[in-house]
Chain A
Amino acid sequence: MKSIKLEINGVQHEVEVAPWRTLLEVIREELQMTGTKEGCGLGECGACSVLMDGKTVNSCLVLAAEANGKRITTIEGLAQAERLHPIQQSFIDNGGFQCGFCTPGMIMSTKVMLDDNPNPTDDEIKKGISGNLCRCTGYAKIFDSIRAAKVAMAASSDGRGGA
């Protein structure tokens, strides 16, 4: 067992982990934050996407020990109290999900995309979420949601969806 420190959504955690435990397992099982989903467990579906030091990772492929000392953001860290992040609101308003299982990962990938490039073209939007599988929507309404989110974020005071 190894003791690691993780900052998740601004909160410091110290956990004892076996060397083979993944970041996803630690988030879901040790810390009981189940917003991040496990689809394939092999890095193919993107449902487990979280931010690690500002970059998207498939948390099922990251060993917990590798995340030691890193800053992690999960879907639970996006809304500020009752106020949804503009990406979250946009996915609701534009029908950007159906069953909702891929949604936490999809929204995290969208956040990184829009943080890196606040004004993506339609092609860049498609590429930005190409690591996230959705079986329900056929993606069209996800594209609509991201296009609307980029407008909403540009209109926010800090240009990143902040208050």
Chain B
Amino acid sequence: MAEFSLIGKSVPRVDGVEKVTGKAGYAADFSLPGMLWCKLVRSPYAHARIVNIDASRALRLPGVKAVVTGKDFGGWTWGWMPATRDEPPVAVDKVRYWAEAVAGIAAIDEDTAEEACDLVDVEYEELPGVFDPEEAMKDGAPAVHDYAENNISVQYHWNFGDVEKAFADAYIVREDRFATSRATKGYIEPPATLAYYDPSGYITVRAAKQSPYFHYRHLAACFKLPLSRVRVIQPYIGGGFGGTKNDSLAGDFCAVLLSKMTGKPVKYVESMEEELTTSRRRHNMITYSKMGATRDGIITAIQHKVIADGGGYTAVGPLSLYLAGFGTTLPYKLDNFKYDGYRVFTNNPMGAAMRGHGVTHTRFAAECQMDMIADELGMDRLEIRMKNSIDNPAPGTTYTTINGVTLKTCGMKEAFRQVAEPYWHERNELPKKEGNISWGVGVSGAPYLTGARQMGHQACAAIIRLCEDGTVNLITGATDCGQGSDTVLAMIAAEELGIPVSAVISQKVDTSYTPADPGSYGSRVTVLGGQAVQKAAQEVKKQLVEVAAQTWKVKPEDVDIRDGMVFVASDPDKQMPFDRMARVACYSGTGAVIMGTGYSTYGLEPLGMESGYGNAGVSYSFTAQTARVGVDLETGQLTTQSFTIASDCGRMLNPLLAEGQIEGGAIQGLGQAIYEDFIMDKGRTLNPTFVDYKMPHSVDIPEMKLIDVETNDPDGPYGAKEASEASHVSTPPAVICAIHDAAGVWIKEQPATPEKIVKALKEKAKEKAQK
């Protein structure tokens, strides 16, 4: 791509050396002199009234410095929207899920803090609990929150077109129940923080947060301080994927309060068992899906009733439920759509955001059901998708869905074309059966949004300062939690300024100095942050060009910068290396301060959560995927042999990083499809370890072939859109449709474990025998 010197190139990560040498500092790697350790006392009940807490025995243990309970936070509660602030930092009067924190301890070391936890006497009065969201909605079910009638945390009712008429007119109508599992983000770095409440009234924390500005606001509100007295410094982040590391945890709040009480810095590192027991996991959602189609396989109507297990508090649930509805009108044309969504409180751990947020649940249902319809019509499963796919709008035009989602680019059809030959069509030439293994191929399509909106501000800004040695400081509020945004943003700055990436020095988020930014979620950083950086860099370039024009007594429009040189194209005598021109600017006369600022202007429409109408993001990515899977017909054991993934992510700014995102998203999706689920017993997570909560290991990985479908979206820097969340969403249906192709059984509840497959095969055999 001659038009760019860096964009589109596989530039290695800017944080590479730090990460491969062990120098990158994550939250738990920081320590301060005199530091205390915090541990939490957690509830042994999923639903119970707290009658009394007596910490006197714990306080008498040598080395214990302070204990906090829920009451010490003065009744403050928090939540995602003003109307849903139902969560205290630490439980006050009652606990609503198993292992909810009820007290925090500060001691001289972690072992002492842990020992002291056992010495806190908490008197509970156990309450009847409710653990199934459909049971929780029934009259007379135990109430998790008094304010929520029938335990309904949030509900939406949207109706576009006329589904009743469409179903009446349809040649074929199917109704099925699908369910997704209790999957979790599964990052390897457990949440951690090092907090110091300075006696003069300033909070400084280093915390593992993918959205540090959320935490900044939570702490200021909780401790009733002006924002300027809260400083969140972002360390390296060991993976995010939504949910827990977006939000603030009991350990975060306790560490700050314990620091305030003791005057010492306090460190909190969650154990992986605590993380997996209490983490804000993906909502498991039940989708009752009704789909109608014509004899030719045109999908005419979808009606979804979704019931989401929200767990004990609201958290980000309103957005999860909204996204589960909004996404159903993509990536296929649809004239009639009805959505009734219910997020329900139970005494399970909280359901919250995770990669593929919301969309994954209903897309799984719709993709499987499309195959069922295609099979009944005797139609090829790829053909039904090609027939229904939204076309790529002609440049300058927009496609609008029935619920007001607008697309300027859509590579869905092209992506299907790319996986068709040879991957889809050659499947019949590959062996269908080898011993007990029956092979099948599945195909799926999925959308995802770029730049999810929240209810609050969308701010995304950048500051670039030119230094006198010709480097630039790049300052943004964006957090790289592994996705590579520090690298991509540095590339954008370097591209615009005509300098190498090594001349861009990126600063990590420090809420005292970096511009406010909601954080890293909803695939927003590359596009929104990228535009901000692009504008800031253009501003710096303009100022430096003006200096050059004055120096050379030419017009600014005659000066350009490329490959580290400032030059006048028409006059070979007028050229100077970038760093020298930077010195000219900084040292001439009074000396200039060259600094550029920019902010994103994308995605300013308000989010239509009640109406369900309008955009959820700035632009939309699309993925087509095939999966070849072998099913052992005796044991139900699966072999995932290959994935082909064609992605329209607008333009890949850095193919090495974008591919890594797509592959990582797909494999996380594979985990959700066939392995991952928390086994629950009355609110208690029975498998809170990485052995029992099985995630994909190196030996489980299929061959992956990636295909880039470039569409160049006008609403993204250099045409970029989201990468990875669509492949995360397309994987579970591709795999589960492949299982059906292989073994003739539909596994409508994720994950498709060997046990479920064997059971389905037995039922199928029984039905066959009865016929």
Q: Chain B residue with minimal CB distance to A137?
A: B664
How far apart sit A79 and B17, CA to CA, in the bound complex (Å)? Answer: 10
With A84-B20, A100-B19, A135-B239 given, is the CB distance from A92 to B13 under 8 Å?
yes
With A35-B21, A74-B22 given, is the CB distance from A100 to B15 under 8 Å?
yes
**Count of residues in A whose CB is under 8 Å from the partner chain:** 55
The answer to the question of B2 belonging to the interface, with a C-beta cut-off of 8 Å to chain A, is no
Q: Does B272 lie within 8 Å of A99, measured CB to CB?
A: no
Q: Does A40 lie within 8 Å of B701, measured CB to CB?
A: no
How far apart sit A73 and B393, CA to CA, in the bound complex (Å)? Answer: 57
With A132-B698, A138-B664 given, is the CB distance from A39 to B189 under 8 Å?
yes
- Smallest CB–CB gap between A82 and chain B, Å? 9
The answer to the question of B482 belonging to the interface, with a C-beta cut-off of 8 Å to chain A, is yes
Listed stretches B39-47, B88-96, B132-140, B655-663; interface member: B655-663
With A103-B20, A130-B698, A141-B663 given, is the CB distance from A95 to B656 under 8 Å?
yes
The answer to the question of B190 belonging to the interface, with a C-beta cut-off of 8 Å to chain A, is yes
Q: Does B667 lie within 8 Å of A36, measured CB to CB?
A: no
Q: Chain A residue with minimal CB distance to B187?
A: A135
The answer to the question of B238 belonging to the interface, with a C-beta cut-off of 8 Å to chain A, is yes
How far apart sit A32 and B22, CA to CA, in the bound complex (Å)? Answer: 12
Q: Can you list, as one digit per residue, whether each of B479-493 has a CB less than 8 Å from chain A (1) or not (0)? A: 001111000000000
Q: Chain B residue with minimal CB distance to A141?
A: B660
The answer to the question of B604 belonging to the interface, with a C-beta cut-off of 8 Å to chain A, is no
Listed stretches A41-49, A61-69, A150-158; interface member: A41-49
Question: Inside 8 A of A26's CB, which chain B residues have their CB?
Answer: none
Q: Chain B residue with minimal CB distance to A93?
A: B12
Q: Which B11-65 residues have a C-beta within 8 angstroms of A?
A: 12-13, 15-26, 28-29, 31
Q: Chain B residue with minimal CB distance to A74?
A: B22
Q: Does B664 lie within 8 Å of A98, measured CB to CB?
A: yes
- Smallest CB–CB gap between B350 and chain A, Å? 20
Q: Does A133 lie within 8 Å of B21, measured CB to CB?
A: no
The answer to the question of B593 belonging to the interface, with a C-beta cut-off of 8 Å to chain A, is no
Q: Does A39 lie within 8 Å of B272, measured CB to CB?
A: yes
The answer to the question of A147 belonging to the interface, with a C-beta cut-off of 8 Å to chain B, is no
Q: Chain B residue with minimal CB distance to A131?
A: B697
- Smallest CB–CB gap between A146 and chain B, Å? 10
How far apart sit A94 and B655, CA to CA, in the bound complex (Å)? Answer: 11
Q: Does B482 lie within 8 Å of A98, measured CB to CB?
A: yes
- Smallest CB–CB gap between B701 and chain A, Å? 5
Q: Does A84 lie within 8 Å of B272, measured CB to CB?
A: no
The answer to the question of B290 belonging to the interface, with a C-beta cut-off of 8 Å to chain A, is no
Q: Which A2-44 residues have a C-beta within 8 angstroms of B?
A: 20, 28, 32-42, 44
Question: Inside 8 A of A75's CB, which chain B residues have their CB?
Answer: 20-22
Q: Which of the residues A74, A88, A130 comes within 8 Å of B20, measured between beta carbons?
A: A88
The answer to the question of A76 belonging to the interface, with a C-beta cut-off of 8 Å to chain B, is yes
Question: Inside 8 A of B159's CB, which chain A residues have their CB?
Answer: none
The answer to the question of B185 belonging to the interface, with a C-beta cut-off of 8 Å to chain A, is yes
How far apart sit A143 and B660, CA to CA, in the bound complex (Å)? Answer: 12
Question: Inside 8 A of B18's CB, which chain A residues have their CB?
Answer: 100
Q: Does B188 lie within 8 Å of A78, measured CB to CB?
A: no
Interface residues on B, range: 35 or more
Question: Inside 8 A of A32's CB, which chain B residues have their CB?
Answer: 31
- Smallest CB–CB gap between A111 and chain B, Å? 12
Q: Does B690 lie within 8 Å of A45, measured CB to CB?
A: yes
- Smallest CB–CB gap between B433 and chain A, Å? 23
Q: Does A133 lie within 8 Å of B16, measured CB to CB?
A: no
Q: Chain B residue with minimal CB distance to A97?
A: B19
Q: Can you list, as one digit per residue, whether each of B223-261 has a CB less than 8 Å from chain A (1) or not (0)? A: 000000000000011111100000000000000000000
Q: Which of the residues B111, B238, B656, B659 comes within 8 Å of A101, measured between beta carbons?
A: B238
Question: Inside 8 A of A45's CB, which chain B residues have their CB?
Answer: 188, 272, 690
Q: Does B699 lie within 8 Å of A100, measured CB to CB?
A: no
Q: Can you list, as one digit per residue, whether each of B755-770 has a CB less than 8 Å from chain A (1) or not (0)? A: 0000000000000000
How far apart sit A34 and B698, CA to CA, in the bound complex (Å)? Answer: 25
Question: Inside 8 A of A39's CB, which chain B residues have their CB?
Answer: 188-190, 272, 690
With A95-B657, A139-B667, A140-B663 given, is the CB distance from A78 to B185 under 8 Å?
no
How far apart sit A104 and B273, CA to CA, in the bound complex (Å)? Answer: 22
With A95-B656, A99-B187 given, is the CB distance from A140 to B19 under 8 Å?
no
Q: Chain B residue with minimal CB distance to A47?
A: B188
Question: Inside 8 A of B665's CB, which chain A residues have their CB?
Answer: 138
The answer to the question of B637 belonging to the interface, with a C-beta cut-off of 8 Å to chain A, is no
Question: Inside 8 A of A72's CB, which chain B residues have their CB?
Answer: none
Question: Inside 8 A of B188's CB, which chain A residues have their CB?
Answer: 37, 39-40, 45, 47, 99, 101-102, 133-135
Question: Inside 8 A of B502's CB, which chain A residues have their CB?
Answer: none
The answer to the question of A57 belonging to the interface, with a C-beta cut-off of 8 Å to chain B, is no
Question: Inside 8 A of A34's CB, which chain B residues have their CB?
Answer: 22, 25, 28-29
Q: Chain A residue with minimal CB distance to B238?
A: A101
- Smallest CB–CB gap between A120 and chain B, Å? 12
The answer to the question of A142 belonging to the interface, with a C-beta cut-off of 8 Å to chain B, is yes
Q: Can you list, as one digit per residue, whether each of B188-207 has a CB less than 8 Å from chain A (1) or not (0)? A: 11100000000000000000
Q: Does B690 lie within 8 Å of A44, measured CB to CB?
A: yes
The answer to the question of A114 belonging to the interface, with a C-beta cut-off of 8 Å to chain B, is no
- Smallest CB–CB gap between A137 and chain B, Å? 5
Question: Inside 8 A of B272's CB, which chain A residues have their CB?
Answer: 39-42, 45
Q: Does B483 lie within 8 Å of A98, measured CB to CB?
A: yes
Q: Does A44 lie within 8 Å of B29, measured CB to CB?
A: no
Question: Inside 8 A of A28's CB, which chain B residues have their CB?
Answer: 29
Question: Inside 8 A of B664's CB, which chain A residues have their CB?
Answer: 98, 135-138
Question: Inside 8 A of B689's CB, which chain A residues have their CB?
Answer: 40, 42, 44
With A38-B28, A98-B482, A133-B690 given, is the CB distance from A76 to B660 under 8 Å?
no
The answer to the question of B436 belonging to the interface, with a C-beta cut-off of 8 Å to chain A, is no
How far apart sit A39 and B20, CA to CA, in the bound complex (Å)? Answer: 17
Q: Does A141 lie within 8 Å of B20, measured CB to CB?
A: no
Q: Which A107-124 residues have a C-beta within 8 angstroms of B?
A: 107
Question: Inside 8 A of B19's CB, which chain A residues have their CB?
Answer: 97, 100, 103
Q: Can you list, as one digit per residue, whether each of B686-698 has a CB less than 8 Å from chain A (1) or not (0)? A: 0001110001111
Question: Inside 8 A of A132's CB, which chain B residues have their CB?
Answer: 698
Q: Does B697 lie within 8 Å of A140, measured CB to CB?
A: no
The answer to the question of B186 belonging to the interface, with a C-beta cut-off of 8 Å to chain A, is yes
Q: Does A101 lie within 8 Å of B26, measured CB to CB?
A: yes
Of B186, B269, B666, B698, the most chain A CB neighbours within 10 A belong to B698
With A44-B689, A91-B20, A92-B12 given, is the CB distance from A130 to B699 under 8 Å?
yes
The answer to the question of B336 belonging to the interface, with a C-beta cut-off of 8 Å to chain A, is no
How far apart sit A91 and B699, CA to CA, in the bound complex (Å)? Answer: 19
Question: Inside 8 A of A141's CB, which chain B residues have their CB?
Answer: 656, 659-660, 663
How far apart sit A142 and B48, CA to CA, in the bound complex (Å)? Answer: 46
Q: Which of the residues A33, A78, A88, A133 comes within 8 Å of B697, measured between beta carbons?
A: A133
Q: Which B455-489 residues have a C-beta within 8 angstroms of A?
A: 481-484
How far apart sit A95 and B19, CA to CA, in the bound complex (Å)? Answer: 11
How far apart sit A136 and B239, CA to CA, in the bound complex (Å)? Answer: 7
Q: Chain A residue with minimal CB distance to B662?
A: A138
Q: Does A99 lie within 8 Å of B237, measured CB to CB?
A: yes
The answer to the question of B320 belonging to the interface, with a C-beta cut-off of 8 Å to chain A, is no
How far apart sit A141 and B237, CA to CA, in the bound complex (Å)? Answer: 20
Q: Which of the residues B13, B186, B236, B701 comes within 8 Å of A135, measured between beta carbons?
A: B186
Question: Inside 8 A of A44's CB, which chain B residues have their CB?
Answer: 689-691
Can you report 20 residue pairs joining A to B where beta carbons are below 8 Å apart? A34-B28, A42-B272, A42-B689, A78-B21, A91-B16, A92-B13, A92-B17, A98-B482, A98-B483, A99-B240, A99-B481, A103-B20, A133-B188, A136-B664, A137-B667, A138-B663, A138-B668, A139-B698, A140-B701, A141-B659
The 10 closest A-B pairs by CB, nearest first: A35-B22, A99-B482, A101-B238, A138-B667, A100-B19, A75-B22, A92-B16, A34-B29, A138-B663, A98-B482
On A, residues with C-beta under 8 Å from B are 20, 28, 32-42, 44-45, 47, 74-76, 78-79, 84, 88-89, 91-95, 97-104, 107, 125-127, 129-130, 132-143
Other A-B pairs beyond A95-B657, A100-B238, 12, CB < 8 Å? A35-B23, A95-B660, A97-B13, A98-B661, A101-B26, A133-B695, A133-B697, A136-B664, A137-B660, A138-B663, A141-B660, A142-B698
